[in-house]
Every structure is written in C-alpha cells, then in structure tokens.
Amino acid sequence: MNGSLGNISNKIMKTANIRQSTGDRRGFHIFRHRVATELLGGGVPQPVISRVLGHTSPDSLEAYLSADFKHLKECALSIERFSMPEGVFGNE
C-alpha cells in the first residue's frame, strides 16, 4: 500500500469497519462532500466551491445540492435515553 492520504484514510476506515458496504463512498470523498456542504450552507457561491474542489463541470455540485441537512435533522432519532460520559458533546 502506498502512503498517500487517500490510502491511509481507506486503511483507517477499514480497520474501524466504517463504510465497508458495497457502494459506500470511502476515503477523502466523504471529507470533500463535507467541505462542499459546509461551504454551500455558509453561502459561498457555487462557482467558488467548484474551483475549490477542482471540479470542471458546473453539474458536479448536484450531489451536494441534493443533501437537505435541515430536513434530514428533523428525521433524526433522539439519543436522550442513552447515557453519555461527561464531555462527549463538549458542553459540560
């Protein structure tokens, strides 16, 4: 295995058994997706985001635009009934 950041990221995810199902996106793609969605949510213009990510096609942001996090959060299940050690969420 070569020492590229992508390969290192993939090895860590494999060791931790994260996103190992067929079709799951792995490695730095998920980090790029996070950057794009954060920039979109922060009001950064789409052409700027495309340039930051190195995209050449204006259609390349479609996958990020379809992620409706505001409404996805409304579907989230509560974890209140599970005990959490102090400091897990950084607000204690």
Residues 6+ apart with CB under 8 A from 7: 1, 27
Element (H, E) at 37: helix 28-41
| The pLDDT of residue 67 | 63
Tens digit of pLDDT for each residue in 23-70?
776 667 777 778 888 888 888 888 888 888 888 887 777 777 666 666
Domain ranges within the chain, ordered by starting residue: 5-67
Is the pTM for the entire model greater than 0.75?
no
Predicted local distance difference test score (pLDDT) of residue 70: 65
Contacts of 48 (CB under 8 A, 6+ apart): 39
- Is a pLDDT exceeding 70 seen at residue 16? yes
In the prediction, which pLDDT does 92 show?
A: 47
